[in-house]
């Protein structure tokens, strides 16, 4: 039981395919008490039965585009939990017109601003708003992608936003270390979630991934969940400001073995 007696808030659970669902499942198995936020009323219907599975009845609306919504959600949470032990930030968004076509041609000031606001600033905003309620030895976790450090076709301005999110992880770790709060990120391999479902040629990306990755496959939300449970547990007490890859090794291999070595 990695997370016995830990209270953890999970954001970004849209449906059973969400990375946040794999994380919730692993954290529940490891004994954590969970609370959830949802972006809007429409997503509450999906969340309700899942939260029940994970033993939780704390469901709070939080649209990270609004400071008022963020403040209101922690006020509401404080009625259930005076203090808690960390949160998972599993939120990313850019307008869909930013994620298809040539980067320099499609990127706009507004698209850039929204991507960075929702995908990176929101992590700082949640840390800021929750700080008075966080116990010692709390852990904060976010989800990033390889597009932060290498180009990926069509990922475009989301790559810039993820680069910002990764720097955000390091600066939050430095800022909150004195309070014994750790801040980390998981860089997950591509997974067919709601956020990926609208992406052109996503299937091709999954098969590219499998052929280059040392493990010869993609990863599951359960595998991301297991790493998340570890990083938020006291077993990871010496780890902060770190980006942990859960990608079947894809980022470590420049060329697929099978293309070069005769069999």
Please give the Cα distance from 37 to 63 (Å, whole number): 9
Closest CA to 11 of 54, 46, 60: 60
Please give the Cα distance from 1 to 51 (Å, whole number): 19
**3-state SS assignment for residue 78:** helix
Closest CA to 19 of 30, 29, 27: 27
Cα of first residue to Cα of last residue in the chain, in angstroms, is: 44
CB-based contact 243:166 (threshold 8 Å): yes
Bridge partners (DSSP) of residue 61 are: 38
Residue 120, binding choice from ligand 0WE, ligand NAD, none, Cβ under 5 to 8 Å by partner class: none
Out of 27, 32, 140, 158, the residue judged to bind ligand 0WE by CB under 6 A? 158
Q: Is 86 in the site for ligand NAD (CB under 6 A)?
A: no
Residues 38-97 that bind ligand 0WE (CB under 6 A): 92-94, 96
Q: Is 257 in the site for ligand 0WE (CB under 6 A)?
A: no
Residue 3, binding choice from ligand 0WE, ligand NAD, none, Cβ under 5 to 8 Å by partner class: none
Residues 91-130 that bind ligand 0WE (CB under 6 A): 92-94, 96, 99
Q: Is 76 in the site for ligand NAD (CB under 6 A)?
A: no
CB-based contact 111:97 (threshold 8 Å): yes
Q: Is 18 in the site for ligand 0WE (CB under 6 A)?
A: no
Place of tokens 């010692």: 136
Q: Is 150 in the site for ligand 0WE (CB under 6 A)?
A: no
The per-type count for the chain, helices as H runs and strands as E runs, is: 11, 7
Strand 182-188 and strand 84-89: the pairing is unpaired
Out of 18, 190, 232, 244, the residue judged to bind ligand 0WE by CB under 6 A? 190
Catalytic site positions? 145, 155
Residue 250, binding choice from ligand 0WE, ligand NAD, none, Cβ under 5 to 8 Å by partner class: none
Q: Is 159 in the site for ligand 0WE (CB under 6 A)?
A: no
Enter the DSSP assignment of 190: P
Strand 59-61 and strand 84-89: the pairing is unpaired
Residue 11 Cβ vs ligand 0WE, minimum distance, rounded to whole Å: 14
Out of 24, 70, 91, 172, the residue judged to bind ligand NAD by CB under 6 A? 91
Total residues contacting ligand 0WE (rule CB under 6 A)? 16
> For binding to ligand 0WE (CB under 6 A), which residues are involved?
92-94, 96, 99, 145, 152, 154-155, 158, 190, 195-196, 198-199, 205
Chain positions contacting ligand NAD, by CB under 6 A: 12-14, 18-20, 39, 43, 62-65, 90-93, 118, 143-145, 188, 190-191, 193-196
């Amino acid at each position: 039981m990695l997370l016995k007696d830990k209270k953890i808030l999970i954001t970004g659970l849209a449906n059973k395919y969400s990375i946040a669902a794999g994380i919730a499942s692993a954290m529940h198995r490891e004994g954590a008490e969970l609370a959830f936020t949802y972006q809007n009323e429409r997503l509450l219907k999906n969340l309700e039965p899942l939260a029940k599975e994970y033993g939780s009845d704390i469901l709070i609306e939080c649209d990270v585009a609004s400071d008022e919504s963020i403040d209101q959600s922690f006020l509401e949470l404080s009625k259930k939990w005076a203090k808690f032990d960390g949160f998972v930030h599993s939120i990313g968004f850019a307008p869909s017109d930013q994620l298809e076509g040539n980067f320099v041609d499609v990127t706009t000031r507004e698209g850039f601003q929204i991507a960075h606001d929702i995908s990176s600033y929101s992590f700082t905003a949640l840390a800021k708003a929750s700080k008075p309620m966080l116990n010692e030895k709390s852990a904060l976790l976010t989800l990033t992608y390889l597009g932060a450090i290498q180009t990926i076709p069509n990922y475009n301005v989301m790559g810039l936003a993820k680069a910002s999110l990764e720097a955000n992880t390091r600066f939050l770790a430095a800022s909150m270390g004195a309070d014994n709060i750790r801040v980390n990120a998981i860089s997950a391999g591509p997974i067919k979630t709601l956020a990926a479902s609208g992406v052109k040629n996503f299937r091709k990306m999954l098969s590219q991934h499998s052929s280059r990755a040392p493990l010869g496959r993609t990863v599951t939300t359960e595998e991301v969940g297991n790493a998340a449970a570890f990083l938020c547990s006291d077993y990871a007490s010496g780890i902060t400001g770190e980006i942990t890859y859960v990608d079947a090794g894809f980022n470590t291999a420049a060329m697929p073995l099978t293309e070069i070595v005769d069999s």
